[in-house]
């Protein structure tokens, strides 16, 4: 059976099949060994802040799938035959974790996508209604908020700098609705591209992650959140030891932006790009293709204003070396609009540095 990539939400309509990927050779890391006596102390410390999320929303109805150009009379008759009030509800379960004593909760965007109601259950059994502060489908991160009359247990973010393949990790979540489930493993790969979007930079782990783990935390041995579990490769829907988490450094940036106004503001350059070919790399004397070749520059875009041209090869952007196309996409998108950044381009065999002031990326139409 061909492996598929699955969002790890337990739901009737909240799973998505994407693309497969390959494993990576593992190397041991003596810096992060299993704690003496196991993970009991760590789990006891962090589990109160891990929550279980239940969502409910309207299912996609037959009416909503009718073509836009269908005659109005036929649409009306169809709706009379299948009343809206009789349509089934869509439900789903996911995981999350509390990051502030006043009730901010991080989860996956796909966990709460299309939700009309969101409820959160703490490890101690308390339940709260939650509001969605904002969600970012491009990174699959969402921020929720609950109101409680007492300070809530929290966990802290760690940094992904210095992580190594082989480091021990622990996942806590709500797989298949079985709340409070703990699994352990190692980091199997870093900066994994699974073709899910422009921000692919996932932590791959062999810690068991299943449907319902979506939005749950991936901890290091210090009890810091180093990732948010979001997807698995699975031929049959269960864990086969290939799971993916959004790195904590990216999550913190997205959460801070969402907390401000519920929206994400991303930089925009205004170029169409393609990879460098092997032939061009050989001519330039490179060992392998690198950089992003500009195929077109949008008129009156930030790139146009900065003097970028068709045929330029972008080698670095704001200090980030561009080895793959996603490096440029990510480097531009994480910049706040109206930020000025240096761009190193190769033009007619010579490197030049140009300054570009990025614009605002317009969200895609739903």
Q: Which residues are catalytic?
A: 110, 140, 214
Distance between CA 125 and CA 27 in Å, rounded?
A: 40
Distance between CA 342 and CA 338 in Å, rounded?
A: 13
Distance between CA 289 and CA 272 in Å, rounded?
A: 18
Query: What CA dihedral angle connects 332, 335, 336 and 337, to 10 degrees?
Result: -30
Largest interatomic CA distance in the chain: 71
Q: Residue 30: exposed, middle, or buried by beta-carbon count in 10 A (0-12, 13-18, 19+)?
A: exposed
DSSP-derived pairing of the beta strands 50-58 and 89-98: antiparallel
DSSP string, 184-210: EEEEEEEEE--SSSTT--EEEE-S---
Q: How far is CA 96 from the centre of its chain?
A: 14
Residue with tokens 């930079």: 201
Q: What is the CA radius of gyration of the chain?
A: 23
Cα–Cα–Cα angle for 128, 130, 133, nearest 5°? 155
Quick count: other Cβ atoms within 10 Å of Cβ 206? 20
Show the tokens assigned to 302. 């930030």
Helix (H) or strand (E) holding 97: strand 89-98
């Amino acid at each position: 059976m061909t492996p598929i990539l699955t969002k790890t939400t337990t739901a009737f309509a909240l799973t998505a099949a994407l693309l497969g990927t390959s494993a990576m050779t593992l190397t041991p890391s003596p810096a992060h060994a299993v704690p003496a006596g196991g993970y009991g102390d760590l789990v006891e410390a962090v589990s109160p802040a891990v929550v279980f999320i239940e969502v409910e929303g309207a299912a996609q109805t037959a009416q909503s799938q009718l073509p836009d150009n269908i005659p109005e009379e036929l649409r009306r008759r169809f709706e009379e035959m299948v009343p809206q009030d009789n349509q089934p509800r869509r439900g789903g379960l996911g995981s999350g974790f509390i990051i502030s004593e006043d009730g901010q909760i991080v989860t996956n965007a796909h966990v709460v996508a299309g939700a009309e109601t969101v409820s959160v259950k703490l490890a101690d059994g308390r339940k709260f209604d939650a509001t969605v502060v904002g969600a970012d489908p491009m990174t699959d991160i969402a921020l929720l908020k609950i109101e409680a009359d007492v300070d809530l247990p929290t966990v802290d973010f760690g940094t992904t700098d210095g992580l190594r393949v082989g480091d021990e990790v622990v996942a806590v979540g709500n797989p298949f609705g079985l709340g409070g489930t703990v699994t352990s493993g190692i980091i199997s790969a870093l900066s994994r591209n699974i073709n899910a979007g422009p921000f692919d930079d996932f932590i791959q782990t062999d810690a068991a992650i299943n449907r319902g783990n979506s939005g749950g935390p991936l901890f290091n041995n210090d009890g810091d959140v180093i990732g948010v579990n979001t997807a698995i490769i699975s031929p049959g829907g269960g864990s086969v030891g290939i799971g993916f988490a959004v790195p904590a450094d990216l999550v913190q940036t997205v959460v801070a932006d969402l907390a401000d106004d519920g929206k994400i503001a991303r930089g925009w350059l205004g170029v169409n790009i393609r990879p460098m070919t092997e032939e061009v790399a050989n001519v330039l004397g490179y060992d392998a293709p690198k950089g992003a070749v500009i195929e077109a520059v949008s008129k009156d875009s930030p790139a146009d204003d900065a003097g970028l041209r068709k045929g330029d090869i972008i080698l670095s952007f704001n200090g980030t070396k561009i080895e793959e196309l996603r490096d440029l996409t990510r480097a531009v998108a994480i910049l706040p609009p109206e930020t000025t950044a240096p761009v190193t381009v190769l033009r007619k065999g010579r490197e030049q540095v140009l300054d570009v002031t990025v614009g605002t990326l317009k969200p895609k139409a739903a």
